Amino acid sequence: MNDEVNQEVIVARGVKRTYSDNGVPVEAVRGIDLIITRGEFTAIVGPSGSGKTTFLNLISGLDPVSEGEVRLNGKKLSAMSGRELSDFRRDNIGFIFQAYNLIPVLTVEENIEYIMLLQGLSRQERHQRVEKILAEVKLEGYADRLPNKLSGGQRQRVAVARAMVSHPSIILADEPTANLDSKTGAELLDMMRNLNQTTGMTFVFSTHDEMIMERAERLIVLKDGLISSDETRQ
C-alpha cells in the first residue's frame, strides 16, 4: 500500500441505506462517495432527517449498508462478523454521542477506563492514560464522580476522554454539542480541535449549530441523503 492510500482513513463508495418504515421504504442515505484523510476535522451538516446520523452509523459499522461499501483504515466493514466489528470499533473508533451516553453506574475514571479494560491494557497503563486525558479535558479531581453528578459540559468532556483514551484513529461524534448551551458547545469544540491538532486523530462530527460549523476544517452538507456540497477551508 502506498502512503496516499494509507492516509485514507474513511472511504465510502456508493453508500446507500434504505429503511423499511412499516413496509414503506425510506431512503435515508441515497448514494454517498466520500474520502476522509488522516487528521481531518470534518463537520457533516444538514437539516433534520437529511441522513447525518445514518451516515455516521454506516461509516462506523453500527449499521450495515444497503448498497455500496465502506472501508475504514483499509478494512472493508461488510466483510466483518459482528464480533470482529465490535473489536474493530473498540480499537479504531472513538464515539461521542449527543446524549453523552456514559455508563451511569461507573465513575468518571471507570467510564474512561472501560475500553482499555476491554482491550486488556495493564492497570498501570490505564491509570497513566486516565490521568493524562483527565488533564487534557480539564477534569482533574473528578475521577471518582458518577456521571449524574456532573454538568452536561463536563459529561461530554468525559465522553471525549473516553473516546480518545484508547488512541483510536477516528473520532466520530453525532451532534456532540446539541445538548449543551452554545458557549459550552463552542468550548468543547475548541478542545476537540486542539486535541485533533496535537494527536493527529481524525475527527468527524455532525452538527446543526452554525457556530460549530465555523470551527470545522472541512464542511460536508447533506441534503435528502446526498452530499450537496463539500468544501475544505484553509
Partner 1 sequence: MLTFKIAFRNIFRQKRRTFLTILTMFGGFTLAAISIGWADGTYNNIINIFTRNQLGHIQIHHKGYLDRPTLYKTITDYEALGATIENIKNVEAWTPRIFSAGLVSVGDKTAGVRIIGIDPVRENNTTLFNPKIIDGKPFSDTAAFEAILGKGLAKILKAKVGDKAVIVSQGADGSIANDRYTIVGLIDCGDEISNQTSFYLHIDDASELLVLSGRIHEMVIVVDHLDHVAEATEEIQKSIDNPELDVAPWQVVAKSFYRAMQADKKGSWISLFVIILIVAVGVLNTVLMTVLERTREYGVLRAIGTGPGQIFRLVIYEVAIMAVISVIVGTALSLLSLHLLSIYGIPFPDNGFEYGGVVFTHGYAEINLISILAPTIAVVLSAMLVSIFPAVRAARIAPARAMRMH
Residues that bind partner 1 (CB under 8 A): 53-54, 57, 60, 62-63, 82-83, 86-87, 89-91, 95, 97, 101, 103-106, 110, 114-115, 117-118, 162
Smallest gap, in angstroms, from Cβ of residue 20 to ligand ATP?
A: 7
- Residue 28 contacts which entry, partner 1, ligand ATP, Mg ion, none (Cβ below 5-8 A, type-dependent): ligand ATP
What is the 3-class SS of the chain, one letter each residue?
CCHHHHCEEEEEEEEEEEEEECCEEEEEEEEEEEEEECCCEEEEECCCCCCHHHHHHHHCCCCCCCEEEEEECCEEHHHCCHHHHHHHHHHHEEEECCCCCCCCCCCHHHHHHHHHHHHCCCHHHHHHHHHHHHHHCCCCCCCCCCHHHCCHHHHHHHHHHHHHCCCCCEEEEECCCCCCCHHHHHHHHHHHHHHHHHHCCEEEEEECCHHHHCCCCEEEEEECCEEEEEEECC
Which CB sits closer to Mg ion, 134 or 188?
Answer: 188
Q: Which of 11, 28, 58, 139 binds ligand ATP (CB under 6 A)?
A: 28
Smallest gap, in angstroms, from Cβ of residue 171 to partner 1?
A: 12
- Residue 86 contacts which entry, partner 1, ligand ATP, Mg ion, none (Cβ below 5-8 A, type-dependent): partner 1
What does the per-residue mask of binding to ligand ATP show for 47-66, with x meaning CB under 6 A?
Answer: -xxxxxxx------------
| 53 lies in the site for Mg ion, by CB under 5 A | yes
The rounded distance, in Å, linking the Cα atoms of 8 and 27 is 27
The residues that bridge with 71 in the sheet, in sequence order, are 11, 76
Is 29:17 a contact under the CB 8 Å cutoff? yes
Q: Which stretch binds ligand ATP (CB under 6 A): 6-14, 44-52, 127-135, 196-204?
A: 44-52
Smallest gap, in angstroms, from Cβ of residue 174 to Mg ion?
A: 6
Smallest gap, in angstroms, from Cβ of residue 54 to Mg ion?
A: 8
Distances from the Cα of 29 to the Cαs of 15, 80, 178, 209, 218, in angstroms? 7, 21, 22, 21, 20
Which CB sits closer to Mg ion, 52 or 89?
Answer: 52
- Residue 49 contacts which entry, ligand ATP, Mg ion, partner 1, none (Cβ below 5-8 A, type-dependent): ligand ATP
Which CB sits closer to ligand ATP, 66 or 199?
Answer: 66
By CB under 6 A, name the binding residues for ligand ATP. 19, 21, 26, 28, 46, 48-54
By CB under 5 A, name the binding residues for Mg ion. 52-53
